[in-house]
């Protein structure tokens, strides 16, 4: 009996050690996407720029506005949908629909907490494009939801995070042009967040983000001849 109880205690100690190893896991580092050579920039702030956010799970980021239809059905209840206003450095507006869906790539040893991150972005007067990405939110979750909420350690902010982790081989998101100036063009994109504050009581505060992207030059309709 004593031996059995000792085994149970050992199991619990081992499990705690495993959880601690996962928390400090060096195999899951910052996302791979490099943003600096992507010349187009759109920025937004949260929550000011988010016209609408809906999902079905209680998070540190609530759904808004009040009364918005929630994603409660079992096929969509782990997804999130947002409507976001962005602007360029020159003040040109853009509007985006954004859908987040948990990715099967999620695992906590080598990859992280990955979400499929899909944007439909319209720049009025210029056209629309898609951004098809994978975002690794584990670094943000570790510093906020785990450290601050669970372990009650103060958030060491402000901090910047690049979340884009593919699916392109260089770790960036894919850009697929749809209409207007962007039709038939492709490119790459990376998103970077700056989180100013996080507390267990109030959640996220002073959050800003930039979506940087670049498009391949338009192909010559005459074939260059």
What does the binding site for other proteins look like in residue numbers (CB under 8 A)? 2-4, 6-19, 21-22, 51-52, 54, 65, 67-69, 71, 73-76, 78-79, 81, 83, 85, 92-95, 97, 99, 101-104, 106-110, 116, 118-120, 122, 124-128, 130, 132, 167, 176, 178-180
Q: For tokens 């990859």, what's the residue?
A: 111
Cβ closest to other proteins, residue 15 vs residue 48:
15
**What is the residue whose two structure tokens read 């790459």?**
188
Minimum distance from residue 52 beta carbon to other proteins (Å): 5
Please state whether the peptide bond connecting residue 65 to the residue before it is cis, i.e. omega within 30 degrees of 0.
Answer: yes
Cβ of residue 151: shortest distance to other proteins, in angstroms?
17
Whether the ω angle into residue 47 lies within 30 degrees of 0, i.e. cis, is yes
Q: Which is nearer to other proteins, 124 or 218 (CB)?
A: 124
Tokens coding 196: 């100013």
Q: How far is the CB of 39 from other proteins (least distance, A)?
A: 21
Burial 183-222 (b: 16+ CB within 10 A, else e): eebebbbbbbbbbeebeeeebbeebbbbbbbebeeeeeee
Residue closer to other proteins, measured from CB, 92 or 170 = 92
User: Of the two residues 76 and 214, which places its CB atom closer to other proteins in the complex?
Assistant: 76
Q: How far is the CB of 205 from other proteins (least distance, A)?
A: 23
Complex with other proteins: residue 59 or 154, whichever CB lies closer: 59
Phi-psi region of 152 (alpha: psi -120 to 50; beta: other; left: phi over 0): left
CB of 185 to other proteins, least distance (A): 12
Q: Which residues contact 74 (CB under 8 A, 6 or more apart)?
A: none
Residues in the chain, total:
225
């Amino acid at each position: 009996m004593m031996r059995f109880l000792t085994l149970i205690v050992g199991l619990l100690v081992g499990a705690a050690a495993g959880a601690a190893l996962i928390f400090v896991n060096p195999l899951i580092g910052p996302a791979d996407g490099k943003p600096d050579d992507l010349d187009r920039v759109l920025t937004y702030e949260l929550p000011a720029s988010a016209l609408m956010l809906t999902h079905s799970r209680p998070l540190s980021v609530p759904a808004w506005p009040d009364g918005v239809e929630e994603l409660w059905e079992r096929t969509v209840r782990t997804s999130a949908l947002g409507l976001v206003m962005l602007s360029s450095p020159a003040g040109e507006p853009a509007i985006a629909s954004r859908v987040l869906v948990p990715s099967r790539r999620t695992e906590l040893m080598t990859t992280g907490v990955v979400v499929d991150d899909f944007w439909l972005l319209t720049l009025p007067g210029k056209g629309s494009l898609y951004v098809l990405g994978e975002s690794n939110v584990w670094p943000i979750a570790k510093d906020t939801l785990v450290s601050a909420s669970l372990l009650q350690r103060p958030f060491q902010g402000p901090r910047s995070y690049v979340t884009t982790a593919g699916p392109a081989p260089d770790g960036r998101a894919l850009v697929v042009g749809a209409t207007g100036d962007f039709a038939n063009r492709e490119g790459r994109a990376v998103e970077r967040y700056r989180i100013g504050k996080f507390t267990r009581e109030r959640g996220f505060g002073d959050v800003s983000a930039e979506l940087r992207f670049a498009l391949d030059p338009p192909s010559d309709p005459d074939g260059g001849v």
